[in-house]
Amino acid sequence: MNARCRREVAEIGRLVHAYRLDLQLVTSPLGLNADQVGHLRDGYNVFDAVAPDRHEHVSLLLNVLIRVELRCGYDTVAIGAALERPLELLDGASIAEQLRAKPGLSDLRLLRKVAGGMPVQKIRMWRVADRYS
């Protein structure tokens, strides 16, 4: 289980770094302080700082973040907006608010369910002819 959890912690670090996520989204669920999460974002392994009773939290948090990443099509702006968007399934709260509020296992399971089916705004783009060409 340690090898799996070590990979999951490294993947959370990649997501935090790649999408410039707020460090507090990871601090509460993993039970880390801001310095440790900063090291995680910078590519250092902080697996040893994660308590053994938090390994299931790591798996669920990673699942939530990956579901949001897939729903938003790997777009940094869309991922940030989706995490901060209030959702009816969470009684008007956002996924980010729930993650900052020290979620338990049942809360993380609910967030995983919500992240997999949350509505994502469509971004429409049009090509406009240049009038000077």
Cα–Cα distance, 15 to 66 (Å, whole number): 8
Distances (CA, A) of 69 to 42, 83, 106, 128: 20, 10, 21, 29
pLDDT in tens, 91-130: 999 999 999 998 999 999 999 999 988 877 666 666 666 6
In one-letter notation, the amino acid at residue 83 is L
pLDDT at 9 exceeding the cut of 90: no
Both tokens assigned to 119: 């509505």
129: Cβ–Cβ under 8 A, 6 or more apart, which residues?
A: none
Contact 112, 63 (CB under 8 A): yes
pLDDT at 1 exceeding the cut of 80: no
pLDDT at 133 exceeding the cut of 60: no
pLDDT in tens, 22-69: 888 988 888 888 777 777 766 566 777 788 888 899 999 999 999 999
Contact 17, 42 (CB under 8 A): yes
Contact 103, 28 (CB under 8 A): yes
Segment (H or E) for 95: helix 95-100
Contact 55, 48 (CB under 8 A): no
Both tokens assigned to 123: 């971004």
